[in-house]
């Protein structure tokens, strides 16, 4: 059974919140690089980020991966049909796929 992300995890609001929070993590990293913050603070912020936004990121990645998989499969079927047409082969029998 496929583990599909919940729709709420893929909402534009949740992705925007993850993006905004990532900006704050970046600022913390930059501050730490200037010795204006501690590595433990950055580590805690990263852990909080993943805890709070991990489901939305996972959902977005899963949705994107599925979309790319479907597009790729459709293209592969087209190419197979073109190759079969060029070779003069009969279309494949769906019962044997």
3-state SS assignment for residue 19: helix
| pLDDT of 97 above 70 | no
| pLDDT of 1 above 50 | no
pLDDT value for 96: 60
**Residues 6 or more apart in contact with residue 15 via CB below 8 angstroms:** 56, 60
pLDDT value for 5: 47
Residue 16 CB: number of other CB atoms within 10 A?
11
Q: How far apart are CA 95 and CA 10, in angstroms?
A: 36
């Amino acid at each position: 059974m496929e583990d599909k992300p919940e729709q709420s995890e893929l909402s534009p609001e949740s992705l925007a919140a993850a993006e905004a929070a990532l900006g704050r993590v970046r600022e913390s990293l930059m501050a730490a690089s200037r010795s204006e913050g501690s590595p433990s603070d950055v580590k805690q912020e990263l852990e909080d980020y993943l805890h709070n936004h991990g489901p939305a990121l996972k959902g977005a990645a899963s949705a994107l991966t599925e979309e790319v998989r479907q597009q790729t499969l459709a293209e592969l079927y087209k190419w197979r049909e073109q190759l079969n047409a060029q070779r003069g082969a009969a279309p494949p029998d769906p019962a044997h796929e």
